[in-house]
Amino acid sequence: MSDEMDDEDREYYDRLNAGLGSQAENVSHSMLENAAKNKAKGEKVVERLRKKRAAKKAAEEKAEAAKAEAAKKEAEAAKVEAAKAEAEAEAEGKKAGKNSAKNKKRREKRRKARAKAKALREAEAKKKAEEDELLSNIFKDALAPSSDSDSGEDEIVMERQYPPPGFSKPTTGGRKTRHRRKKKGKRKTKRRRKTKRKRKKRKRKTKRRR
């Protein structure tokens, strides 16, 4: 654009600004001015929005990066924990292996001891059974009637010598000796004294209550 055109344009705009042009020119000029102003405003708004969006995007990217970093750290920590747990489990496994070997030996020892005790008990029971059988045979032989003597008499004698279980000694009748009769008289006097003492005691108690 030439210098003359620039001057003309400037003159034209000055005239329009001064309101010397026609109504249509003035209206179109004001519309153009408003449009220019609105455009400037719009550009400002757009710029502000762009900045805002850029800031938001930057913040989001920063948050994502921080999250990724935290996840990475967590993963590393989990890895370390897993390694630690594995090492502990391995150590415990070794310890458990030792313990299991010890326990196995202990169990074997107990089993042998139980078997030995059982064998001893069985041997004792067998020995006792043999002894009982031998004793019963001896008693049977002793109680059996002999060929040279009468069976009835022998049986009576043996019964007297070996009374059966639950056999009680027969008591004498209601007869009492003189000695006991004398004692009874003494006991009576003692009883009387006792009753007298009791009576006196009761009297004393009743007096106290009153």
Q: What is the pLDDT of residue 207?
A: 76
Q: What is the pLDDT of residues 149-190, one digit of tens each?
A: 444 444 444 444 455 555 555 555 555 555 555 555 555 566
Q: Mean pLDDT for the chain?
A: 74
Query: Can you state the percent helix, strand and coil of the chain, rounding each to 5?
Result: 85, 0, 15
The more confidently predicted of residues 95 and 80 is 80
The more confidently predicted of residues 154 and 92 is 92
Distance CA 22, CA 110 (A): 125
CA angle 94, 95, 100 (to 5 degrees): 95
What is the 3-state secondary structure of 59-127? HHHHHHHHHHHHHHHHHHHHHHHHHHHHHHHHHHHHHHHHHHHHHHHHHHHHHHHHHHHHHHHHHHHHH
Contact 36, 43 (CB under 8 A): no
Q: Is 166 left (phi over 0), alpha (psi -120 to 50) or beta?
A: left
Q: What is the pLDDT of residues 116-149, one digit of tens each?
A: 999 999 999 999 999 888 888 887 777 776 655 4
> What pTM was computed for the model?
0.28
Helix (H, G, I), strand (E, B) or coil at 20: coil
Distance CA 122, CA 129 (A): 10
Q: Where are the domains of the chain?
A: 3-163
